[in-house]
Amino acid sequence: MTMLREIESVLAANDRLTSSHALWLYGNAPSEWLREAADEIRRKLHGERAFYNRNIHFEPTNKCVYACRFCAFARTADQGPEDGAWDHDLEEFDRILRAKQPGTITEVHITGGVHPDRGVEYGEALCRKVHEVHPTAHVKAFTAVEISFFARKSGLSLEEALRRLQAAGLGSLPGGGAEIFDPEVRRKIAGGKAPAHQWLEIHEVAHGLGLRSNATMLYGHVEEHRHRVDHMERLRDLQDRTNGFMAFIPLRYRNENNALSHLLEVSPEEDLRNYSVARLYLDNIPHLKAYWVMLGVELAARALEWGVDDLDGTVDDSTKIYSMAGAEDQHPAMTTARLESIISAKGRVAVERDSLYQAV
Ligand code: SF4
């Protein structure tokens, strides 16, 4: 039996693909086969529904103790506005939140640089501020890398830090900071920051506390297909134990203004194939998100035919992470009407969701 026939029979039996299958798919599967197979799995999971939400991001600071080589966002603690650094205080956050009419957003997504002076108390203050101004909004905040630093700075265990943030109103964790788990690749692109085992531990502890989370994978830089498979295998294994991940979010490396700018970006076809392999392999993570801010609207819409069921949200020009790294849209903002029309144009039913994927 050829490998493709073997994979088809595994899928037809609703069985699980092995990591060898996934690796073979990356390198060998015909693109149209991949698209159709992933689309079929997506349909089994979600029917014709495709999801979006009404969210804003808040990036408290881009001052960071780390210097990830793929990052165009971070500045050092001693840099100032003239260098593109910022460091918002709570008053500024309050002003940003109050600029939104009550009820117009369901989620505030907070991530930023790892500021050397900030511990868990700062994270707590941000969570409380969201609930003070928008009592019904969900706070999805802090990558595992930020939480790891908060805990260290405040002299707490990871669980204590997460419990404190949860008590202050943290609702779920975003998936950032995962990058690529393979230690050798991680050392090359993100030296120094929370290692893979700690990223996974933080999500496992969070799931144990009843916090759901997402998981990302930064691809298209120096990694090989086997590293992507290894990354997804570790997520799939954790999900088997906790069932706490809601969505997997592949993030394409963008190559402007960072220390890896000599690398070419992957092609749109590679992006789409990557979504499909992820949809086929990650059989226990329900949602697959094309983050339109990173990918561009047109390609994110195409991804809906390659296994994707979620486009993220309105964002409202509130994030600079990808615009600083070369994304096409320098002021990413989307109305709900536009998100719905992008989804309907693909023959799908647009569903506004909350942060936990319940229909609003
Ligand atoms: S990716 Fe995050 S942790 Fe790494 S340098 Fe950028 S802001 Fe800091």
22 within some domain: yes
The protein residue whose alpha carbon is closest to atom 3 in ligand 1 is 66
pLDDT, residue 342, reads 94
Alpha-carbon span 216 to 197, nearest angstrom: 15
Q: How far is the CA of 342 from the centre of ligand 1 (A)?
A: 31
At residue 316, the pLDDT reads: 77
pLDDT above 80: residue 273: yes
Nearest CA to ligand 1 atom 7: 113
Q: Is 261 inside a domain boundary?
A: yes
Q: Does 220 contact ligand 1 (Cβ within 6 A)?
A: no
User: 360 alpha carbon to ligand 1 midpoint, in Å?
Assistant: 33
Q: Is 85 in the pocket of ligand 1 (CB under 6 A)?
A: no
Q: Please name every residue paired with 217 in a beta bridge, in sequence order, or none if there are none.
A: 250
For residues 305 and 301, what is the distance between their CA atoms, to the nearest angstrom? Answer: 8
**Residue 66 Cβ < 6 Å to ligand 1:** yes
In a domain? residue 120: yes
Residue 187 tokens, joined: 């050392």
Look at residue 183 and tell me if it is in a domain: yes
Query: Residue 194 pLDDT > 80, yes or no?
Result: yes
- What radius of gyration, in Å, describes the C-alpha atoms of the chain? 19
CATH code of the domain covering residue 329: 3.20.20.70
Output the pLDDT for position 252.
Answer: 94
Q: Indicate if ligand 1 lies below 6 Å from the C-beta of 114.
A: yes
**Residue 341: which pLDDT band, with cuts at 50, 70 and 90?**
very high
Structure confidence at residue 358 (pLDDT)? 95
Q: How far is the CA of 113 from the centre of ligand 1 (A)?
A: 6
CA–CA dist 40, 38 (Å, integer): 5
Q: Which of 178, 176, 93 has its CA nearest to residue 137?
A: 93
**pTM of the full structure:** 0.96
Average pLDDT (206-216) is 98
DSSP 203-234: HHHHHHTT-EEEEEEEESSS--HHHHHHHHHH
Q: Which two tokens stand for residue 287?
A: 């949602």
Domain count across the chain = 1
Domain contains 359: no
Residue 360 within a domain: no
Residue 248: beta bridge partners? 215, 288
> Is residue 160 included in any domain, yes or no?
yes
Structural domain of residue 312, as residue ranges?
3-352
Residue 357 lies in a domain: no
CA pair distance 212, 242, nearest whole angstrom: 10
